[in-house]
Amino acid sequence: MLFNSFDFGLFLIVVYLLYWLVGSKQITAQNIVLLAASYFFYGLWDWRFLSLIIASSLIDYLAGRYLYSLHHPFKRKLVLWGSLFWNLGVLVAFKYYNFFVDNFTSLLGIENTSQPFMVWEVIIPLGLSFYTFQTMSYTIDVYRSNIKPTKNILAFLCFVSFFPQLVAGPLERAKSLLPQFLNKRNFNLEQSKEGLRQMAWGLFKKMVVADNLAIAVNAIYASPEDQGSLSLLYASCLFFFQIYCDFSGYSDIAIGSAKLFGFKLSKNFETPYLAKTAANYWQRWHITLTKWFTDYLYGPIVKSTNRGPISKALALFITMILIGLWHGANWTFVVFGLIGAVFITLERIRIPFKNKNYSLTEFLNKAPRPVSLLYMSILIITSSVFFRAPDVPTAMSILYKIIHFTTSQPFEFVIGAKVLVVPFLIAVEVLTRLKPYPLYKLQLHANKPLRWAIYYILIIIMIRYAGPKEQFIYFQF
């Protein structure tokens, strides 16, 4: 059930009415409606994997309760490692098994014979990386005594499976989201209106921008060997905006949907195309994932070492490579993460100049905007090529063509004037960058006729100029 489908709209209306009519008196009734809706939403994709998300929820719920009752350090570590073993084991089994086996057999030179080496072919459960990381963070936070475990199993099951952010985040921490399931939510018409406005902006980014850009990107990347430099450069630039509008659009819809039920989710994007450095880019892009890896991987690695520049660089490379691998079981994603690590490391190096030490970060922050724009374009285009290409050799071939500027093939300007929606989108988001989203508090800044004119124009554009319906890119992660 895609967020940009009629089915989801109907589903949301039914759940909204049940939630506020049936569950208006009690927290328990509200949570039962949400849990039933979340399991129904997830089960529509494949009901068999409901058992997996329920098992992960119960294991981490019990681990949290058990950790709180234990005081012996070794026993507490056993419980923590048991929880991590389950969660990471599920990820490896469903998402990375084939990747590791294929590379291991290639490394050992094992070839197919009359009885081929069988690799377990399995469907990756929807949203597996998201809800697994969410439950892991809960157990780790309880182990660190950052939070107390909840005794309310219904609230915890809702925390793990909350349908607006179940499939592709934002990655929520128990400290911020779980208490919201323990407190009564009262109906607030203004909050519902805000939720609908944010959903409308998210749908616009997904349906009008991302899905239309996908036409050009898919057409050119379908046969990169037949394309010239300009076409490949054009598609790689468009892909960045495609994936940004696709994923940030999903996040807006998720956050807006949550507001309909009285919940507040974390902000996941903050105009990443305005970043001047690679480090700042990752602070603005998929914010909740970056924060997760910083708190649970990068920080502990640095803390356990001498905290010097070498240990920080090592921790950075490990973290960024795993962030890349989190996106998918492919070497292209490993290289994608490695590119980010290289750029951030270069930005940290301090070079002596006129009796002072300067870093690339300081230079880029003070330099004219065209300088940082060129720098970030190199990073974004290079990263986009590896993120979008099916394998490393294809990605290298595309970059080779772009760098050497091959002009033997004609430039294919796919979808033409519809690309103009990108600068329009950027202009609107830049002008409203201090707000959670462009339509935020519109009733405070525009009279009723103007507000409704904007709503109708947005709806007409979405109906008239929506691209072919595409699945959200981050659903596969």
What local confidence, expressed as pLDDT, does residue 10 receive?
93
Q: Angle of helix 392-404 relative to helix 369-388, nearest 10 degrees? A: 140
Of residues 43, 64, 69, 198, the one with CA closest to residue 125: 43
Of residues 326, 356, 367, 319, the one with CA closest to residue 340: 319
Mean pLDDT computed over 395-408: 84
Of residues 120, 161, 143, the one with CA closest to residue 68: 143
Spell out the residues 6+ positions from residue 50 whose beta carbon is closer than 8 angstroms to its own: 39, 42, 43
Least confident of 77-86, 119-128, 447-456: 119-128
The secondary structure of 446-461, three-state, reads: CCHHHHHHHHHHHHHH
The percentage of the chain sitting over the pLDDT mark of 70, rounded to a whole number, equals 92
| Residue in the structure block whose two tokens are 């405070």 | 444
Answer whether 326's CB lies under 8 Å from 318's CB: no
The percentage of the chain sitting over the pLDDT mark of 90, rounded to a whole number, equals 53
Which tens digit of pLDDT belongs to each residue from 297-325?
A: 999 998 888 777 888 899 999 999 999 99
Is the pLDDT assigned to residue 115 strictly greater than 70? no
| Residue 119 burial (CB count, 10 A) | 12
Assigned token pair, 425? 């989108």
Is the pLDDT assigned to residue 117 strictly greater than 60? no
Of residues 431, 135, 441, 428, the one with CA closest to residue 259: 441
What local confidence, expressed as pLDDT, does residue 102 receive?
72
Q: Angle of helix 6-21 relative to helix 229-260, nearest 10 degrees? A: 20
What local confidence, expressed as pLDDT, does residue 431 receive?
86
Assigned token pair, 411? 């430039």
What local confidence, expressed as pLDDT, does residue 121 receive?
56
Higher pLDDT, 128 or 353: 128
Instruction: State the pLDDT confidence band at 11, using cuts at 50, 70 and 90.
Output: very high
Which tens digit of pLDDT belongs to each residue from 457-475?
A: 888 888 888 777 778 877 7
Cα distances (angstroms) measured from residue 22 to each of 19, 47, 89, 113: 6, 26, 39, 62
Instruction: State the pLDDT confidence band at 118, using cuts at 50, 70 and 90.
Output: very low
What local confidence, expressed as pLDDT, does residue 409 receive?
59
Which tens digit of pLDDT belongs to each residue from 127-178?
A: 888 999 999 999 999 999 999 999 999 999 999 999 999 988 799 999 999 9
SS3 state of residue 359: strand
Which helix (H) or strand (E) element contains residue 279? Answer: helix 278-284
Spell out the residues 6+ positions from residue 173 whose beta carbon is closer than 8 angstroms to its own: 134, 137, 138, 141
Higher pLDDT, 416 or 285: 285
Instruction: State the pLDDT confidence band at 114, using cuts at 50, 70 and 90.
Output: very low
Cα distances (angstroms) measured from residue 274 to each of 333, 376, 458, 469: 23, 9, 25, 28
What local confidence, expressed as pLDDT, does residue 407 receive?
63
Is the pLDDT assigned to residue 47 strictly greater than 80? yes
Is the pLDDT assigned to residue 60 strictly greater than 70? yes
Spell out the residues 6+ positions from residue 402 whose beta carbon is closer than 8 angstroms to its own: 229, 232, 233, 236, 381, 385
Instruction: State the pLDDT confidence band at 97, using cuts at 50, 70 and 90.
Output: confident
Average model confidence (pLDDT) for the chain? 87
Alpha-carbon Rg of the chain, whole angstroms?
24
Of residues 203, 208, 296, 207, the one with CA closest to residue 251: 203
Which tens digit of pLDDT belongs to each residue from 181-210?
A: 999 888 899 899 999 999 999 999 999 999
Dmax (CA) of the chain: 75
Is residue 404 part of the annotated active site? The answer reads no
What local confidence, expressed as pLDDT, does residue 444 receive?
66
Amino acid at 315: A
Q: List the catalytic residue out of 71, 72, 286, 327.
A: 327
| Residue in the structure block whose two tokens are 């070498």 | 310
What local confidence, expressed as pLDDT, does residue 443 receive?
66
Assigned token pair, 161? 């499976």
Spell out the residues 6+ positions from residue 82 whose beta carbon is closer than 8 angstroms to its own: 63
SS3 state of residue 351: strand
Mean pLDDT computed over 15-25: 84
